[in-house]
């Protein structure tokens, strides 16, 4: 496994591999690797001959009052975990390597970036699409794997890839959960023991809505209101709960197959997201 800091070095490695005919698989991460990331790496491994994982905590996708500085980092542990999975290259550039002085260019997928998580994080997805485009241009992957927990992100990236005529196959890996159902996230480490226990309500509320739909619930307002109540009772501060079409992310009039229930909830200062497609 190679550990690469420089864009120019990585480009040379990739160019060499492409000439050999290798299919390049790519998993972009912000590090603090957990089982969710590792399952994406395994997916990339299966579908490619050469796997690149980037570890880069991307400043532009954090708002001015968000947790860029506090975001958990443990490079040594990340390297050990990724080595075990047979990753070929870890790309871990500095901020300056990615955004040198005088950096000016940003990509935005309009409308999709301003709804759901984009309401309270108005510049977040512009930061995401910009870094993902840059990483795609650097890594030149044939396939790139993203996690389904960041569902809106996957829709936005698919749209960007289509709109910008990129030749990357986007693969979405399933949500990996803790035993009690909490979706794995590097941010779970922020939770106190008490918050951690209460946070299970996110998964439970999503399971509830799935079952309620099976039993005949069709009214999205009733569904999201009930989820709201369930979460509030367990001390979560709801940022949003919405029922939207899984492809367009537009609100649905009636719950149906292909409706995404997405939510963002604060426990203390920690913002968690989760979703389910019914």
SS (H, E, C) 38-103: HHHHHHHHHHCCEEEEEECCCHHHCCCCCCCCCCCCCHHHHHHHHHHCCCCEEECCCHHHHCCCCC
Residue 50's beta-bridge partner residues?
24
Coil, strand or helix: which one is 209? helix
Can you tell me which of 105, 214, 215, 216 binds its own copies, judged by CB under 8 A? 105
CA angle 192, 62, 115 (to 5 degrees): 95
Output the smallest distance, CB 4 to its own copies, in A.
Answer: 14
Positions 129 through 148 that interact with its own copies (CB under 8 A): 129, 133-134, 137-138
User: Taking CB under 8 A as the rule, does residue 103 contact its own copies?
Assistant: yes
Residues 6+ apart with CB under 8 A from 224: 241, 242, 243, 261
37 is catalytic: yes
Segment near its own copies (CB under 8 A); pick from 28-36, 71-79, 102-110, 184-192: 102-110
What tokens does 214 get?
């099976």
Q: Tell me: does residue 158 bind its own copies (CB under 8 A).
A: no
Least Å distance between CB 94 and its own copies? 14
Question: Is 148 marked within a binding site?
Answer: yes
Q: Is 7 in the site for its own copies (CB under 8 A)?
A: yes
In the complex with its own copies, the residue whose CB is nearer, 48 or 129, is 129
Instruction: Name beta bridge partners: 272.
Output: 265
Catalog residues that contact its own copies under the rule CB under 8 A: 7, 11, 103-112, 129, 133-134, 137-138, 159-160, 163-167
Catalytic residue positions? Answer: 37
């Amino acid at each position: 496994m190679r550990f690469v800091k420089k864009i120019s070095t990585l480009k040379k490695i990739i160019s060499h591999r492409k000439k050999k005919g290798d299919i390049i698989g790519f998993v972009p991460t912000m590090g603090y690797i957990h089982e969710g990331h590792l399952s994406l790496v395994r997916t990339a491994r299966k579908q490619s001959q050469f796997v690149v994982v980037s570890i880069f905590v991307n400043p532009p996708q954090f708002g001015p009052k968000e947790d860029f500085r506090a975001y958990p980092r443990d490079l040594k542990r990340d390297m050990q975990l990724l080595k075990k999975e047979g990753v070929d290259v870890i790309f871990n550039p500095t901020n300056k390597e990615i955004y040198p002085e005088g950096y000016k260019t940003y990509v935005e997928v309009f409308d999709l970036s301003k709804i759901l998580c984009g309401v309270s994080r108005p510049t977040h997805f512009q930061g995401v699409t910009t870094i993902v485009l840059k990483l795609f241009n650097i890594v030149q992957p044939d396939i790139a794997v993203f996690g389904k927990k960041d569902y809106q992100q996957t829709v936005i990236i698919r749209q960007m890839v289509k709109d910008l005529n990129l030749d990357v196959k986007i693969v979405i890996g399933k949500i990996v959960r803790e035993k009690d159902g909490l979706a794995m996230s590097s941010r779970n480490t922020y939770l106190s023991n008490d918050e951690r226990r209460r946070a299970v309500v996110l998964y439970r509320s999503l399971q509830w809505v799935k079952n309620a739909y099976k039993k005949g619930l069709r009214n999205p307002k009733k569904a999201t209101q009930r989820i709201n109540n369930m979460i509030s009772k367990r001390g979560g501060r709801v940022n949003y709960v919405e029922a939207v079409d899984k492809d367009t992310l537009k609100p649905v009039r009636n719950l149906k197959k292909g409706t995404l229930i997405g939510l963002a909830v604060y426990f203390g200062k920690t913002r968690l997201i989760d979703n389910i497609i019914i």
